[in-house]
Structure 1
Amino acid sequence: MGVSPARVLVRHLLPNVLSTVLTVATLELSRIVLLEVSLSFLGLGAQPPNPSWGRMLAESRSYLSASPWLIVVPGAAVLLTVLSINLISDAVRRSLQPQL
């Protein structure tokens, strides 16, 4: 028909895979956040001058009985971050999904 492959990709393929790609990307972002937190908790993540929620959780373990908020605040930050990323992913998927 004389149409370039780039036009076929943009006009026909991209609209059909956009919602799937964005959903997978946002879900992977939440998985990356959890991976960084867990590696930092084990001591394999960011080094001490750099802040990390995992290192905050690991360092506050020894103070759990005296001051539990030291472990609750970074844990809640991780929870809210991952939950918000997943909710954004769900909203993007719903907005880009074709109406049946």
Structure 2
Amino acid sequence: RHLLPNVVPIVFANTTLTVAVAILSETTLSFLGLGDPTRTSWGTMLDDAYGVGAITTGSYWYFVPPGVCVVLVVLSFTLVGQALEEVLNPKLRER
């Protein structure tokens, strides 16, 4: 009755932020070549774009879609986590 209402918003917020950090970590490791090369990931797509020189030649269609997807997904998880915390946090509800 006292503990659970105060812990649930923190757990939800931390979970969504952890998912966002996990996506960024996997993307970064795959971009650096430390990910599984047999699996498709946004980091592998960015690494392939960097490998063919798409950034220096101006071939933006190689690196913009995976980059935008990473930014949008991480931003959406962060915003959902903040919204859940504001809705579920009893201290913020009183204001």
Alignment TM class, shorter chain as reference: 0.7 to 0.9
Q: How far off is 1:63 after superposition?
A: 2.1
Q: Measure the CA separation in 2 of the matches of 1:42 and 1:71.
A: 15
Find 2:41's aligned residue among 52, 55, 66. Answer: 52
Which residue number in structure 1 is paired with residue 81 of structure 2? 89
Structure 1, gaps ≥5 residues long = 1-10
Q: CA RMSD in A?
A: 1.2
- Equivalent AA in structure 1 for residue 88 of structure 2: L
Q: Measure the CA separation in 2 of the matches of 1:90 and 1:46.
A: 32
Q: How far off is 1:55 after superposition?
A: 0.7
Structure 1 residue ranges, 4+ long, deviating more than 4 angstroms after superposition: none
Give yes or no for the alignment of 1:36 onto 2:20: no
Give yes or no for the alignment of 1:79 onto 2:71: yes
Which residue number in structure 1 is paired with residue 54 of structure 2? 63
Aligned length: 89
